[in-house]
Structure 1
């Protein structure tokens, strides 16, 4: 490995934050062992960073970072299924982290189509990106694990964002950063149960990136908290029409359902409107919790909502990729971030006497 290549790896360590400003570089013998080069090559490479004002040598103490490289050393490709729903905040977090590291960003959208996804990945690679942040459309693929295995043959490092291999081998080396959707749902259900609600419905979705996890979370929480699963109150559609939501509201009224967990702010807003038309007051007769918290606070009354930490997921995934680029020996990371529950005006204690059909 030539001197400039080692200097580039050292710049990457600094730019990625692996060695922050004020931090001390590994010793020159340690760097020589890490990079598989001679001690003189490392000394010359460190000397270049000294000349650039990135590090300083302190006699008897070590070499310390005092600045960051002046120019971006990396360009990262980012592939998302949509730039208009859920992912803008994820992208915002990615861009914030990469900008802080003086790395460039190339953004592409798959529109949730596996065929377009493959071509977009090839386009990013052809453009020279050195790493990839990927949100693959695993939920619409016939063999999602096969595709996840296929990604391991990419010529550059990658980190999955809001996705994980669905059926990995125990030693799968994939790195990912996701939201712990099941945990977020459980937090919301525990809150509703604490308000005395035992007959809780689920207005869910299918064929979205996190719909299966959210549905699993509802089922697990209902069982763990000892809640009633009211027949006909757990319903999932790919798209909810106004007519379907209206019929669901009538069912909640007639079945004595006192709270509903909705997968999506917009569906929750639709249910709030339909509930009023069915004679149910929100929150006095029917409490609502939404999953997403994109526009929940704009509804009347503002919706209590579970907020996935989208920006934090994006930023952490970008930081992880930069670490891998700086040091390919970085071990695989499997990271889950817990969502937050924001309590607003759409929830109230359960009615003392729940209306249960005879």
Structure 2
């Protein structure tokens, strides 16, 4: 083993691997292995080269992104910054932690960034990919970067004690706001500032619309273990009870992941149970249900009306989906505004807890609007 290899081995064992990997990549860039503007190899290739895991490389690259040594281009890859761009002395930064940058959250991020940048703040954006270890380390990394505030979308649904986690955030050294998350079992005086979509209210709008269209037997095809799955499911239970809609237990089903054959079986069950409408948590599952129903020789919305929740890709397809559309951009923008208020106003700023109602976007999959009542002839 050479002296350099011995030193690398020592460094590798003496501190976290991701920091060692970040140093190696930073050194390679400084020595010209990749020139400004060059694209870095894919994560797996980097991991194999450095004999570390994919997660280690992701954290290392994330650190280089924060340092503005490299930059990520959505859908393209990771590139060496064309010119060094260190943070200017005195420039104010806000850290933003999201679990995903590819589904649901791009519009939340857009709303956040427009408000923060308009107020003269730089944005340090990190993604946890629903990994609690990454989430913890990225949060620490943002604090080390010197952010003045945080907008957080933590993966509370993956935690054993999410309320304790939320309570622990009060010890952070900077102001923070939760976006699309709220304390799961708060005490009456919980001071957490948050803003999110009123998911239960959005579900109620959808169920009321289906009821007004004449549907009395409605199914629920839902998910488990997502950030909003329980809120959507609870909203459906409350809405159907409030509106006195019949829900057959056989077609009230939730899964971690719906397989095509399971959706086909669900469609058959709806036909057997006399269900005339289904509320689906997720555009993709709703679209798959439409396909399954049509393969059974039935029609949408003639035999089965379908309403989705999310409105990410609901208008794509042969039968555009009626969908509950959460106010994603508005949630991001308001979260940023609330954080700026806390940063500028100091510790005595009152906490605010805001829910924004989603819209119901009517498309072809539910049969559109309720028909006007027929006029009766006068005697």
TM-score of the superposition, structure 2-length normalised?
A: 0.72
- Whole-Å separation in 2 of the counterparts to 1:72 and 1:188: 48
- Whole-Å separation in 2 of the counterparts to 1:72 and 1:204: 48
- Whole-Å separation in 2 of the counterparts to 1:244 and 1:109: 31
Please tell me whether the aligned partners of residues 292 and 308 of structure 1 are also in contact (alpha carbons under 8 angstroms).
yes
Secondary structure of 1:187's partner? helix
Secondary structure of 2:214's partner? coil
The equivalent of 1:74 in structure 2 is 92
Deviations 1:222-270 (A, max 9, x none): 1011111113110000110001101001111111110000000000000
The equivalent of 1:330 in structure 2 is 349
Residue 348 of structure 1: how far off its partner (Å): 2.2
- Whole-Å separation in 2 of the counterparts to 1:72 and 1:184: 43
Residue 115 of structure 1: how far off its partner (Å): 1.6
- Moved runs in structure 1, 4+ residues, more than 2 A? 71-74
1:345 to 2:364 alignment: yes
1:138 to 2:167 alignment: no
Please tell me whether the aligned partners of residues 151 and 335 of structure 2 are also in contact (alpha carbons under 8 angstroms).
yes
Secondary structure of 1:76's partner? strand
Match of 2:330 among 302, 312, 328: 312
1:149 to 2:149 alignment: no
- Whole-Å separation in 2 of the counterparts to 1:175 and 1:335: 8
Give the aligned length: 281
Deviations 1:168-190 (A, max 9, x none): 12111110001000000000000
Of stretches 166-175 and 201-210 in structure 1, the one that deviates more from structure 2 is 166-175
Unaligned ranges ≥5, structure 1:
1-70, 351-358
1:103 to 2:103 alignment: no
Secondary structure of 2:186's partner? coil
Please tell me whether the aligned partners of residues 362 and 368 of structure 2 are also in contact (alpha carbons under 8 angstroms).
no
The one of the two structures with greater contact order (alpha-carbon pairs below 8 A, sep at least 6) is 1
- The 5-angstrom pairing of residues 87-236 of structure 1 reads 87-236=105-254
Secondary structure of 2:250's partner? coil
1:278 to 2:278 alignment: no
Please tell me whether the aligned partners of residues 197 and 349 of structure 1 are also in contact (alpha carbons under 8 angstroms).
no
Q: Structure 2 vs 1, CA of residues 327 and 142 (structure 1 numbering), >3 Å: closer, same or farther? A: same
1:247 to 2:269 alignment: no
- Whole-Å separation in 1 of the counterparts to 2:121 and 2:163: 31
Secondary structure of 1:107's partner? strand
Unaligned ranges ≥5, structure 2:
1-88, 370-379
- Whole-Å separation in 2 of the counterparts to 1:346 and 1:190: 16
- Whole-Å separation in 2 of the counterparts to 1:283 and 1:105: 45
Secondary structure of 1:152's partner? helix
Deviations 1:36-74 (A, max 9, x none): xxxxxxxxxxxxxxxxxxxxxxxxxxxxxxxxxxx9852
The equivalent of 2:82 in structure 1 is none
